[in-house]
Structure 1
Amino acid sequence: MAEPIVSDVLTRIGDLLIQESNFLYGVSDQVELLQTELKLMQSLLKDADARQDESDILRQWVTETRDLAYDAEDTIVTYALKVASSEEGGVLKRCACILYEGITMHKVGSKTVNIKAKISILKTSFRDYGIRESIIQGGGSGSLNERQRQQRETYSYLEDDVVGFDNDVKKLVEFILKEEEGNRIASICGMGGLGKTTLAKMVYSHHIVKQHFDCRAWVYVSQQCQRRHVWEEILISLQSKDQRDEIKKMSDAELVEKLRQVQQKQKCLVILDDIWTIEAWNSLCEAFPKKNTGSKILLTSRNKDVSLHADPRGFLYELQHLNDKWSLELLDKIISHRKGCIQTISKTRMEKLGKEMIGYCGGLPLAITILGGLLAAKQTQEDWENVLRYVKSHKENFGVNKVFALSYNDLPCNLKPCFLYLGIFLKGFEIRSKELIRMWMAEGFIPQIQHGEDGEDTMEDEGERYLQELVQRCMVHVGKIGSLGRIKTCRIHDLMHDFCLAKAQRENFLLMSNICSLGLSEEHIGKIRRLAINWKSSDECLRGIKLKKYPYLRSLLYSMLHLNHVYVKELCFKNFKLLRVLNLENYTRNLPEDIGLLIHLKFLSIKNSTMTSLPSSLGNLRCLQTLDLRSHAMSVPNVFKKMEQLRHLYLPSKYKVSEKLELADLCYLQTLENVQPKTIQTATSFRLNRLRVLGVWRYYKEPAQDAIQIVSSCPHIHKLNKLPEVHQFSPNLAKLTLRNTRLNVDPMATFENLPNLKILRLLHKTFSGDTMVCSKGGFPLLQSLVICRLDKLKEWRVEKGAVPGLCRLEIVACMCLNTIPDALGFIKNLRELEIIWMPKSFKDRLIKGGTDFYKVQHVPSLVFQWCIL
């Protein structure tokens, strides 16, 4: 995968020559010559990448080319950053650095000349080997660029494309709704790629199932079952996410007892997705009561014996491969649902070509889905016929991995590293899309573009389109959709993850601590650039980690959930001066002072860590784009003002400062979460013009004016959390969350006039009054409304013509509320209504046969949870 790397490096070097020319004084000529040499090499790499398997020497040359491109960027960027740093230090520092810079300039010049010479030699070697030059397409794939233009504003996300599951769903739903004692476990079995998880999701989200069960939980078990983690996730889902910290403090015995109590008191549905072994079930089963319960379990497994062992009297459903008719229908469904397929192929010809291709997929839905995603990206009949020729040429061993390889090879150059980067996450992991895109940005996979003021696109918007393209090609699946319609989480199928990780490791793109000993093997030639140390690693592997062996790392992900992190010594950052991404979730030690040496760092997360303070050297990280400090109480230094590239700042939920934080000069800041108004220096000129997401936390006795100052200084907010008072808002506001504001005046009178508000969440003690009113014509764009724990609310009125577009309503623990408004019966768009922790009398009025059922009988999904009082 040298071609995408060289392409990315060329883009970044080009940006440097334009944007940072002042800081390349004295070496710009050598940099331009090196850039030219890399461009000439790029024309050979498409063919070289495709033929790597022909010989070890060719693979070695490709690896050397990739490493030289990285070395070139590291050398040039490091020099520019050091010069920039000395320029900002004033006259004295500038004079002191002149001699040092002269020495550095000489070294940089020598290094670039040396790299250029090595690339020239490799270029000759490629040509002598018979590697052919190709025409370099500017701007990446034409297909991608065209489809990006079609997707500038919105994107529709479809459920998994499925065929032939209607009868399967019906049978499974019938079983889990049965009340007979003993019939408690249903199982879906079959090989990987048959659609077990998809079928389970259809059952889990079935409207009758949602109405029947009081609460539901879904947990992914995986090949390496972590018993404690599984139990915790189930209980958190069955109770409340607000109780997560309390649940994590329970002992195993307390956790099991609580789980059993919940399942005996309520009708619960628990999905155990992808459980591999009988031993895994035996380790989990004590948390599930066998008698006196209306709760049910649905598990998916590749091992039929697991299902038979778990409950011999249970319902076992064995998935089968698709027949030719269903296979062709699935392919057609995928292609017709994907955007961008230009209809230059006749329907008859498409069916003929498609029928011939699916014959080689063996009726495996996953293989057909990936093939469909690939064909949907093809523009002409010739493209389709080329795919068919590939399939035929590999017909003897054409299977899911060949389909994956075909789809991967067809990716535009700029998407290949983005796809391989997914391998850095654990199999089955629900990937947070914002975090993924920001890591892509930090790595340089997304080009530098405008910063989003006055409607211009941002790098984040571009990253979203990259992710959308991978979804379109069926290589990535959408997990959760955010409240504003964007991808919130994503995932890749287990088999696709296996392919991704194998490809990434063979390309020397990354290493995973849980599948390798972190010692270089024959498979790993070249410099290791990305490393993930995770909680699924064996003790032996963790003991053997020697981080100093990897000085060229660009990404380091360190995510531990239990005590095996003690085998990793305190990180010494002087060894990782080239890091761009550092993710230290759940890290248990404070950051050392030498964190300030990571001058290239663009993404830093210490989320859920136990750190108590941050070093002042953090201010040296001038290139940071994302800084995530969401953890417990922590002392925070006033150093953010130095991070001029900062775009996303997440402060701890509680933090202390010795002096007020200066943020006014962070002109690229888009996200500011958990900010306490009293800790911010808000001068008259305080202005965050590009801020889109603001989370304000104000203690109850704190003056409201400070918070109002921050809100009024952010004209482009589209998401606002935890606002303490309601006076001034941006007209762009699309999502508003309030908590603990204790407002005495009905907030609806203000909120209903916000022209672009789509999501409104009124949480714990937001409003202290007893009556709320939504007026006619109010909330013209509101789609989702959550009313939670408004303890004194007795009456909620909605006038006819208010909230016309409301799709989802959630009412939680408003114990004094008598009933829902009559006008909800006229809102035809209302698709989901969830009633949680409300009195039983409230529920009885809304169920079929109840006095208020007429208000909700048109709602397809009506769900009650924990309505027992």
Structure 2
Amino acid sequence: MGGYKEVVLLRNPSRGVGKSEPETFVCLSKDDERSPKKSSGTIMAGELISFGIQNLWNLLSQECELFQGVEDQVTELKRDLNLLSSFLKDAHAKKHTSAVVKNYVEKIKEIIYDGEDTIETFVLEQNLGNTSGIKKSIRRLACIIPDRRRYALGIGGLSNRISKVIRDMQSFGVQQAIVDGGYKQPQGDKQREMRQKFSKDDDSDFVGLEANVKKLVGYLVDEANVQVVSITGMGGLGKTTLAKQVFNHEDVKHQFDGLSWVCVSQDFTRMNVWQKILRDLKPKEEEKKIMEMTQDTLQGELIRLLETSKSLIVLDDIWEKEDWELIKPIFPPTKGWKVLLTSRNESVAMRRNTSYINFKPECLTTEDSWTLFQRIALPMKDAAEFKIDEEKEELGKLMIKHCGGLPLAIRVLGGMLAEKYTSHDWRRLSENIGSHLVGGRTNFNDDNNNTCNYVLSLSFEELPSYLKHCFLYLAHFPEDYEIKVENLSYYWAAEGIFQPRHYDGETIRDVGDSYMDELVRRNMVISERDVDTERFETCHLHDMMREVCLLKAKEENFLQITSNPPSTANLQSTVTSRRLVYQYPTTLHVEKDINNLKLRSLVVVTLGSWNMAGSSFTRLELLRVLDLVQANLKGGKLASCIGKLIHLRYLSLMLAEVTHIPYSLGNLKLLIYLNLDMAYSSRSYFVPNVLMEMQQLRYLALPYDMGKKTKLELSNLVKLEALENFSTQNSSLEDLCGMVRLRTLTIKLIEETSLETLAASIGGLKYLESLTITDLGSEMRTKEAGIVFDFVHLKTLTLKLYMPRLSTEQHFPSHLTTLCLESCRLEEDPMPILEKLLQLKELELEHESFSGKKMFCSSGGFRQLQKLSISGLEEWEDWKVEESSMPLLHTLRIWECRKLKQLPDEHFPSHLTSISLGSCCLEKDPMPTLERLVHLKELEFYKSFGGRIMVCTGGGFPQLHKLKLSELDGLEEWIVEDGSMPLLHTLEIRWCPKLKKLPNGFPQLKNLKLAGLKEWEEWIVEEGSMPLLHTLSIDSCPKLKKLPGGQHFPSQLITINLAFCGLEEDPMRILEKLLQLKNVSLDRSFSGKRMVCSGGGFPQLQELSIYGREEWEEWIVEQGSMPLLHTLYIDDCPNLKELPDGLRFIYSLKNLEISKRWKKRLSEGGEDYYKVQHIPSVEFDD
């Protein structure tokens, strides 16, 4: 097998300090072994399969002494690989049109995988053979031949298989290409930098949709009768983009109290959707409680919440009408809510009802298509010196015609061409697209989806081979799943995807970020860089791009996806891929459910815990990736056979129910990622002292509580890039000294520790970006000026330890953007030092961080600060702020500072948009200070003012939209002058028991919630007050005896909820005159015995709910009342004698829910059946 120059690759022994070990190679030509020169160490094979060949080549090119006894076979195999690579280009080109050639390519993959497994196992045995325990475990591996002779036969067998497949391909016309060596190198750094400078902004794909947004916002904000708005159309039309623009629109934010966005997907569960909605609408601290609720409890909570609040729920990507029917039961008849949904299926929310609107966006015009395309493919077009090449313009306009106005196809096409720098590249792509479309059609009807799919598929084919692997890995994750880029980066690294030239001096996270950046710029993956970390934190796929990803993963046999473990027989016959992912399993039995002995990757994707019935991995000894996140292991023990997985690079037991870690874990010497941050347990975890052997580790997360018995030596782990939950109780701080590559570090100080030891141990970690130090009982005490932090790259710093004095600003990292201090008990005001940190954007002074009484923020300080949170400062009394301090501050939170008596009178930060004050003891009315803040939009007081009177003067709070007053126990009078809060649209007053009177005014008020006003007796509404009010909720106001009468009651009300009030007069005579009223809920709010709904009353009422009326005996409904009523609820009204005869004249009534005691009378044959026989749905509740 001649005709090519043989190269032998040797690892380069030189390594740079503070860098990740460069995976570079020295290349020696056999023609001139004395003249070494730098090479990429690659062989030519430009398609997906090239990755396996390159990895196998690298394994075969290690130190020669490793292959003593099999040298001839290794040399022969390398020659065969080089020859094989010369056929791959033509084979790949023909596999799309020839099933036979495609089968050859699949055979090659299997040969390469088998070769990698055999050679890597052989190398591991040579490296680890002197360790008896490892040698013993390796010899038990079923796929390993224990002696060199048998290895020689195995390697020779690989050569024979390669020779045969080459002969077969040649006989079928596959041509050999000249091997020119190496991967195509990327464009120069300067050009890449210029392209990134002009990369797209957040609105780059928002073209030609402005009118659509305006119309949809109008439906949700201005059209009171519209309840559900559906955006429907084919995939790639921009439905989700449109919904996001509406969701984030200022008018929408002002209109609704709560907003929720849920990605539904094809395999959703009702439970998950309801949980997500409730989590969005409730405070974050209730999240754990929500996740523990049963489905019935969830439904009840959501109904109660949506009855009394005005909320917008976005349901993105609903597939079937039945899916909408499953989700619907949480929406109560009392409608303060609205739904915006997107779907490819127009029938999902179709109703012959004016409250349902279906909106179908049009495809982009030719002009808008060209505008969008230019923004992405030619990002520098707006630069003064830029001039578009005429040929490129002609080709670009020709190609976008094939996209049929579909925004997704245009974005992806533009992303492909943005990476192509010559007209020749553009011409080649244009010809590929044109040849696919018969006759070069330029407009489409039913063919749009096929065309879009082809453009998306072409974008995959144009990826470099390493990015193809990265992209296919996204097939692991369910639809609309938010994928963590950090975990993804370690998956990629564990699979050997990273290219040597990208890895020199970079961390795994850095390389993963650069790959994600390439995919994002090509518009194949959706992600944005985090403002604080400047990294991609999460990503996801557009639904059509995900279809391409799944299709390509299937074509390449890249991954097997299963949601529920099928039978053993089924798996035996179907699972041939070497990667397997379980999505949302309930139970997995490794021995029974997994039978592919060549499996390389086993990943579980879940949102909750799942049961792992068997944990024996003896038959899966070739695994590289094992992710058991949130697994509940039977008996709590990780089986000792885990130590047989010597190829393992990635192991995650995050949040898993594991109580025992075996000593055999130390056998896993190739691990680069190990997550032992297991589920919380009442007892501490014991981790054996075996981690020191894992010298390739880049990421290590230890259990939060390991107890005193665990003692770990970690000094050997010098390649670590992230270390979580390091504890001085279990390891020595001195072990950190050599970990110079660390970017992320969290330390718990438990054993007695000196500041000097801490500083000496971490002082050399100059690449740190995030550092957290928590004192949990080390009794470290010092009067020195804090810790000197000389970390030039540090951006996030959290200190939870006793530190009575701060270092000067020169000792803080210069690039620090986020700082959190807790339990420091600083004796001196920290502000004079902290305000000089020029890059600081977010500052949190938490519980006991400062023990002094006064803080002072001087002029010019905190130049970049945007968020300030101060809580739990028990002694803080006085805060002075000078003019021009904190000029960019937009969010302020002060809680549990009970001695703070007043806010700064002058020079309060003028750009504040949100203020939350809780559990403070302000004695002076804060309104005169705060009402001068012209940008303030949201203001909350919770137990924060002890005075009797608050006054808001005319012209104050010019931009305030939301105001919440809660538990102000001393407040008796609130005066709001004309012209104050002119834009206020949401007002909530809760549990202010001494407040007797409500102010008038509020010309823009739309939502009003009142609760717990124990002394409020009379509500006087002046003429013209609250003219836009559409949602009113009054709860637990027992002295309120009547509603405002006459013409002064807010006439635009749509929804009213009255609960636990003391109304003595029939409220119906007032409410029935409200011409816009559609939803009424009365819950224990009227103490009378008789209610009358007169003819002509409630002309727009659609839903009526009456609960808990124990005194209520008689209800009269005159003919002509409530002509549009369609839903009626009556519950817990034990003394109501009969339903009104007038119900039989309400022909619009579709749903009646009533207590079970009425079943006999209202069922067919019952005495009152005639009153309800026209109602399609009558339900009797227990």
TM-score range, shorter chain: 0.7 to 0.9
Distance 2:959 2:419 in 1: 35
Are residue 389 (structure 1) and residue 435 (structure 2) matched?
no
Greater radius of gyration (CA)? 2
* Alpha carbons 1:450, 1:458 under 8 Å: kept: no
Deviates more, 1:783-792 or 1:202-211: 783-792
Q: Which residue of 1 aligns with 2:324?
A: 281
**Equivalent in 513, 519, 526 of residue 470 of structure 1:** 519
Distance 2:389 2:195 in 1: 29
Do the aligned partners of residues 561 and 430 (structure 1) sit closer, same or farther apart at CA in structure 2, a change above 3 Å counting?
closer
Deviates more, 1:82-91 or 1:725-734: 82-91
Distance 2:403 2:641 in 1: 53
Q: What aligned pairs does 1:118-267 form with structure 2 within 5 A after superposition?
A: 118-134=161-177, 140-143=183-186, 150=193, 158-159=201-202, 161-178=205-222, 180=224, 183-264=226-307, 266-267=309-310
* Alpha carbons 1:715, 1:730 under 8 Å: kept: yes
Q: Give the drift of 1:839.
A: 8.4
Deviates more, 1:488-497 or 1:33-42: 33-42
Q: Which residue of 1 aligns with 2:598?
A: 552
Are residue 302 (structure 1) and residue 349 (structure 2) matched?
no
Deviations 1:361-420 (A, max 9, x none): 222111111111111111111211111111211113651121122111111122111111
Q: Which residue of 2 aligns with 1:592?
A: 639
* Alpha carbons 2:646, 2:667 under 8 Å: kept: yes
Q: Which residue of 1 aligns with 2:685?
A: 635
Do the aligned partners of residues 849 and 561 (structure 1) sit closer, same or farther apart at CA in structure 2, a change above 3 Å counting?
same
Distance 1:173 1:845 in 2: 38
Do the aligned partners of residues 575 and 800 (structure 1) sit closer, same or farther apart at CA in structure 2, a change above 3 Å counting?
farther
* Alpha carbons 1:736, 1:757 under 8 Å: kept: no
Do the aligned partners of residues 576 and 73 (structure 1) sit closer, same or farther apart at CA in structure 2, a change above 3 Å counting?
same
Q: Which residue of 2 aligns with 1:328?
A: 370
* Alpha carbons 1:657, 1:679 under 8 Å: kept: yes
Q: Which residue of 2 aligns with 1:811?
A: 893
Distance 1:580 1:339 in 2: 46
Do the aligned partners of residues 287 and 645 (structure 1) sit closer, same or farther apart at CA in structure 2, a change above 3 Å counting?
same
Deviations 1:453-500 (A, max 9, x none): xxx323432222111111111111115636221111111111111111
* Alpha carbons 2:728, 2:750 under 8 Å: kept: no
* Alpha carbons 2:128, 2:135 under 8 Å: kept: no
Q: Which residue of 1 aligns with 2:472?
A: 420
Query: Equivalent residue of 1:475, what SS?
Result: coil
**Equivalent in 554, 566, 572 of residue 616 of structure 2:** 572
* Alpha carbons 1:74, 1:578 under 8 Å: kept: yes
Q: Which residue of 2 aligns with 1:429?
A: 481
Query: Equivalent residue of 1:694, what SS?
Result: strand
Give the paired residue count.
Answer: 848
Q: Which amino acid aligns with 2:605?
A: S
Distance 2:931 2:295 in 1: 45
Distance 1:797 1:350 in 2: 61
Distance 1:439 1:578 in 2: 16
* Alpha carbons 1:210, 1:862 under 8 Å: kept: no
Distance 1:65 1:137 in 2: 21
Distance 2:170 2:244 in 1: 52
Q: Give the drift of 1:439.
A: 0.2
Q: Which amino acid aligns with 2:498?
A: I
Q: Give the drift of 1:345.
A: 8.1
Q: Which amino acid aligns with 1:736?
A: L
Q: Which residue of 1 aligns with 2:355?
A: 313
Q: Which residue of 1 aligns with 2:403?
A: 361
Distance 1:31 1:411 in 2: 32
Q: Give the drift of 1:616.
A: 2.4
* Alpha carbons 1:232, 1:248 under 8 Å: kept: yes
Q: Which amino acid aligns with 1:426?
A: P
Are residue 727 (structure 1) and residue 773 (structure 2) matched?
no
Higher relative contact order (CA 8 A, sep 6+): 1
Q: What aligned pairs does 1:704-723 form with structure 2 within 5 A after superposition?
A: 711-712=762-763, 714-721=765-772, 723=774
Q: Give the drift of 1:666.
A: 0.8
Do the aligned partners of residues 487 and 430 (structure 1) sit closer, same or farther apart at CA in structure 2, a change above 3 Å counting?
same
Distance 2:252 2:674 in 1: 41
Distance 1:860 1:619 in 2: 65
* Alpha carbons 2:418, 2:522 under 8 Å: kept: yes
Distance 1:13 1:371 in 2: 34
* Alpha carbons 2:108, 2:165 under 8 Å: kept: yes
Q: Give the drift of 1:504.
A: 0.8
Query: Equivalent residue of 2:349, what SS?
Result: helix
* Alpha carbons 1:696, 1:707 under 8 Å: kept: no
Q: Which residue of 2 aligns with 1:490?
A: 539
Q: Give the drift of 1:25.
A: 4.2
Q: Which residue of 1 aligns with 2:657?
A: 610
Q: Which amino acid aligns with 1:693?
A: T
Distance 1:439 1:548 in 2: 21
Q: Which amino acid aligns with 1:47?
A: D
Query: Equivalent residue of 1:588, what SS?
Result: strand
Query: Equivalent residue of 1:666, what SS?
Result: coil
Q: CA RMSD in A?
A: 4.4
* Alpha carbons 2:714, 2:731 under 8 Å: kept: yes
Do the aligned partners of residues 241 and 678 (structure 1) sit closer, same or farther apart at CA in structure 2, a change above 3 Å counting?
farther
Distance 1:89 1:773 in 2: 66
Are residue 443 (structure 1) and residue 516 (structure 2) matched?
no
Task: Quote the sequence identity (%).
Answer: 33
* Alpha carbons 1:481, 1:488 under 8 Å: kept: yes
Q: Which amino acid aligns with 1:308?
A: M
Q: Give the drift of 1:311.
A: 7.6
Could you tell me which runs of 5 or more consecutive residues in structure 1 were left unpaired when the two chains were aligned.
Answer: none
Q: What aligned pairs does 1:767-846 form with structure 2 within 5 A after superposition?
A: 767=850, 771-774=854-857, 785=867, 787=869, 789-790=871-872, 792=874, 809=891, 811=893, 813=895, 833-835=913-915
**Equivalent in 506, 513, 529 of residue 555 of structure 2:** 506
Distance 1:263 1:329 in 2: 42
Scaled by the length of structure 2, what TM-score is found? 0.64
Q: Give the drift of 1:532.
A: 0.7
Distance 1:35 1:340 in 2: 51
Q: Which amino acid aligns with 1:168?
A: N
Q: What aligned pairs does 1:50-65 form with structure 2 within 5 A after superposition?
A: 50-65=93-108
Distance 1:394 1:484 in 2: 43
* Alpha carbons 1:213, 1:865 under 8 Å: kept: no
Distance 2:739 2:879 in 1: 36
* Alpha carbons 2:867, 2:890 under 8 Å: kept: yes
Do the aligned partners of residues 256 and 238 (structure 1) sit closer, same or farther apart at CA in structure 2, a change above 3 Å counting?
same
Deviations 1:23-80 (A, max 9, x none): 4444455334423322221222122122113333211210111111111111111122
* Alpha carbons 1:773, 1:798 under 8 Å: kept: yes
Q: Which amino acid aligns with 1:509?
A: F
**Equivalent in 572, 579, 584 of residue 535 of structure 1:** 584
Do the aligned partners of residues 863 and 645 (structure 1) sit closer, same or farther apart at CA in structure 2, a change above 3 Å counting?
farther
Q: Which amino acid aligns with 1:61?
A: Y
* Alpha carbons 1:185, 1:311 under 8 Å: kept: no
Do the aligned partners of residues 352 and 553 (structure 1) sit closer, same or farther apart at CA in structure 2, a change above 3 Å counting?
same
Distance 1:722 1:865 in 2: 37
Deviates more, 1:189-198 or 1:512-521: 512-521
Deviations 1:138-183 (A, max 9, x none): 5534446768953899996732522112222222333333494x54
Q: Which amino acid aligns with 1:170?
A: K
Query: Equivalent residue of 1:307, what SS?
Result: coil
Distance 1:35 1:338 in 2: 46
Query: Equivalent residue of 2:654, what SS?
Result: coil
Q: Give the drift of 1:119.
A: 1.1
Distance 1:807 1:336 in 2: 36
Deviations 1:244-278 (A, max 9, x none): 33221222233233334444555443322112233
Q: Give the drift of 1:445.
A: 0.5
